[in-house]
């Protein structure tokens, strides 16, 4: 089966309305909205590295899109469209049907169009998605804006996906296979959050990127971490490892002034927000539990471990 036949059969659903030219030519054409900046990111998923080999094709398709939309959300931007580059060892029509449906199900839920890409044969299943979005000029929420006295907050729960990975078949595996990009929340935080990042490699490691960019430190209250009741039942040290270092949460971690935090709580939010700590002067991340220092050695996901 030729490359273009695969594209026509599985990846050419013309459902978008504001793309000047989509799939079918050498490149896609998009007309930028007035006074908007383009936000663009890319992620690669490799079979056996970023998802278990027996993960369903539909879940792989969904996650390939979702992890990129999470990066767009972390800038406060509105997602618009994606490009898909797919390397396949063999042509498996049942797999392609499920995978493409997962792609489109995620795109449709978040108002995103698949507008182009590339398909080729390779030794390993490899998926690269490039996502694009728009934000008003100068309004992007960066990692470098955290200030001493800001609250540190996180959306949803942390540690679910990591627990699901280690306990395949548990209900929390769904959080691993089908992460939810916080697109609406990201846009609601625009103009309120002082810095933001999405949690892909573990809360502690990703928060560390904010601290480094902002030249500040943070103190986290372990008892405030929003975790599933399943994690409440395991030993503390293991619990914190899942919550702080597990990765694949794709929740938003952000800093915000106390005043803006109160404003945020007045909005109609689609996900729970938890204040888990505070930005401090010392340029390091420390932990507290029930009012006492709690030393922890935390290491997030390492891409070249």
Contact by Cβ (8 Å): 267, 217:
no
pLDDT band at 223 (very low <50, low <70, confident <90, very high): very high
| CATH number, domain with residue 104 | 3.30.1330.10
pLDDT, tens digit (0-9, with 9 covering 90-100), for 274-287: 999 999 998 899 99
Indicate whether 57 belongs to any domain.
Answer: yes
pLDDT band at residue 220 using 50, 70 and 90 as cut-offs:
very high
Q: What does DSSP say about strands 126-136 and 78-88: parallel, antiparallel, or unpaired?
A: antiparallel
Q: What confidence tier does 304 reach under pLDDT thresholds 50, 70, 90?
A: very low
| Residue 245 belongs to some domain of the structure | yes
Is 252 among the domain residues?
yes
Residues 170 and 265 in one domain: yes
Question: How many distinct structural domains can be found in the chain?
Answer: 2
Q: What is the pLDDT of residue 13?
A: 65
**Pick from 171, 145, 174, 161: which is nearest to 254 by CA?**
145
Is 58 known as a binding-site position?
Answer: no
Was 143 annotated as part of a binding site? yes
229 labeled binding residue: no
Average pLDDT over residues 120-137: 94
Residue 84 lies in a domain: yes
Is 198 a known ligand-binding residue? yes
Residue 101 lies in a domain: yes
Residue 26 annotated as lining a ligand binding site: yes
Q: Residue 241: which CATH number?
A: 3.90.650.10
Report percent pLDDT > 90 for the chain.
77
Contacts of 47 (CB under 8 A, 6+ apart): 53, 124, 125, 126
pLDDT at 160 over 70: yes
* 200 annotated as ligand-binding: yes
> Could you tell me the end-to-end alpha-carbon distance of the chain, in angstroms, rounded to an integer?
37
Best CA proximity match to 193, nearest among 250, 264, 249 = 264
Q: What is the per-residue pLDDT across 3-62, written as a single tens digit (0 to 9) for each? A: 656 666 656 666 666 776 777 777 888 888 999 999 999 999 998 777 888 899 999 999
Q: What is the mean pLDDT of residues 119-145?
A: 95
Q: CB-side exposure of 285: number of CA atoms within 13 Å? A: 22
- Burial (CB count within 10 angstroms: exposed 0-12, middle 13-18, buried 19+), residue 185: buried
């Amino acid at each position: 089966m030729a490359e273009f036949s695969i594209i026509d059969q599985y990846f050419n659903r013309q459902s978008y309305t504001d793309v000047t030219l989509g799939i079918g030519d050498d490149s896609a054409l998009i007309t930028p909205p007035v006074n908007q900046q383009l936000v663009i990111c890319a992620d690669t998923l490799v079979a056996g590295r970023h998802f278990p080999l027996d993960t369903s094709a539909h879940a792989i398709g969904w996650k390939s899109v979702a992890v990129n939309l999470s990066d767009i959300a972390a800038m406060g931007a509105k997602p618009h469209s994606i490009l898909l580059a797919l390397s396949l060892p063999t042509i498996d029509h049942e797999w392609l049907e499920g995978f493409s449906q997962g792609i489109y199900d995620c795109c449709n839920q978040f108002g995103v169009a698949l507008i182009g890409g590339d398909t080729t044969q390779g030794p390993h299943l490899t998926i690269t998605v490039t996502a694009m979005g728009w934000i008003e000029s100068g309004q992007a929420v960066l990692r470098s804006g955290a200030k001493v006295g800001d609250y540190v907050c996180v959306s949803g729960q942390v540690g679910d996906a990591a627990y699901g990975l280690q306990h395949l078949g548990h209900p929390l595996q769904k959080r691993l296979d089908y992460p939810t990009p916080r697109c609406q929340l990201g846009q609601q935080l625009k103009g309120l959050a002082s810095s933001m990042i999405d949690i892909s490699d573990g809360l502690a490691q990703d928060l560390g990127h904010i601290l480094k960019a902002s030249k500040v430190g943070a103190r986290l209250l372990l008892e405030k971490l929003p975790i599933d009741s399943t994690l409440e039942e395991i030993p503390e040290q293991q619990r914190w490892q899942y919550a702080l270092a597990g990765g694949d949460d794709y929740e938003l971690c952000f800093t915000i002034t106390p005043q803006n935090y109160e404003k945020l709580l007045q909005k109609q939010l689609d996900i729970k927000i938890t204040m888990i700590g505070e930005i401090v002067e010392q340029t390091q991340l420390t932990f507290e539990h029930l009012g006492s220092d709690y030393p922890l050695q935390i290491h997030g996901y390492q891409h070249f471990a």
